[in-house]
Amino acid sequence: MEYLSCVEVEPGDYSKAPERDIQTDASVIWLHGLGASGHDFQPIVPELHLPDDMAVRFIFPHAPNIPVTINGGMVMPAWYDILALDIEREINQQQFQDSVDTTIALIEREIERGISSERVVLAGFSQGGAIVYEAALTYDKPLAGLMTMSTYFATHKSIQVHPANKNIPIHIFHGSYDPMVPETMGKQALTALEGLGFSPEYSTYPVEHEVCLEQINDISTWLQTLLRA
């Protein structure tokens, strides 16, 4: 199978421990937002300051380049076309599902590489967050967790949650001054998830459509708690 092109950061790339002592035992697949690339969140990895005994592989896939209607048809990295910027975000459903499928393929690849599904975390920012909501909650094997940032739950009305992930830990992060994806959309996701029986954590920060140092610290704490459980 042809996989998405990805930036991969191995534990030996950011850990101070000798490389020979590091055996990867968990993976975080982290999707970027509209117009960005897999390199967008790569610099965050060392800033998480994970303990040396946590052997986590970070995978940052690149979205394909496609025309984006709301940006005048400009070709850019995007997980799907956005046709209208209303509260429901009218989108290209086939492109959305294709991106969900290629994300799930990356999970399957990690399993083939020896990582248990229960040691795989899905994470996504903005458009990437919309994709990982669908990918994680419909996946047929239990995952370690789901982390969404500055995003919205695009398929909250149609999603068919798989029983394997009905208890998945979820943490939503959002900027309270976000002009691109208003925080109301993050709170709508929270309400929708609670209606589906989940118990998400929710954190907000006084920033716009971005990630701040306080959030990076909180992400580190969450990942450490999650992957040490």
Question: Domain spans of the chain?
Answer: 6-65+93-228
Check whether 198 has a pLDDT greater than 70: yes
Q: Is 209 a catalytic residue?
A: yes
What is the pLDDT averaged over residues 13-39? Answer: 85
Q: Which residues contact 217 (CB under 8 A, 6 or more apart)?
A: none
Q: What average pLDDT does range 141-170 have in this prediction?
A: 97
Q: Token pair for residue 139?
A: 């996946």
Label residue 12 by pLDDT band (50, 70, 90).
Answer: confident
The stretch 191-203 carries a mean pLDDT of 98
CATH topology of domain 6-65+93-228: Rossmann fold (3.40.50)
Give this prediction's pTM: 0.95
More confident residue, 160 or 13: 160
Active-site residue identified among 62, 98, 209, 220: 209
Could you tell me where the DSSP H helices lie in 66-118?
A: 93-112
Q: In this structure, what are the phi and psi dihedrals at residue 152, rounded to the nearest 5 degrees?
A: -145, 160
pLDDT value of residue 229: 62
Q: Is 178 a residue of the active site? A: yes
Catalytic residue selected from 81, 126, 150, 174: 126
Look up tokens 């994470």; give the residue: 123
Average pLDDT along the chain: 94
**What does the alpha-carbon distance between residue 175 and residue 111 come to, in Å, rounded to a whole number?**
33
From the list 34, 12, 49, the residue with the least C-alpha distance to 151 is 34
- 């940032």: which residue's tokens? 149
Distances, alpha carbon 110 to alpha carbons 70, 129, 155, 193, in Å = 34, 20, 25, 27
Q: What is the distance between the alpha carbons of residues 183 and 35, in angstroms, rounded to a whole number?
A: 20
Q: What is the pLDDT of residue 90?
A: 86
Tokens of 168: 């998945």
pLDDT attached to residue 82: 93
Q: What is the mean predicted confidence (pLDDT) over 41-54?
A: 94
> Could you tell me the end-to-end alpha-carbon distance of the chain, in angstroms, rounded to an integer?
33
DSSP state of 4: P
Do the beta carbons of residue 170 and residue 198 sit within 8 Å? yes
Residues 66-118 pLDDT 10s = 999 999 999 999 999 999 876 567 899 999 999 999 999 999 999 999 999 99
Does the active-site annotation cover 126? yes
Which residue type occupies 85?
A: L
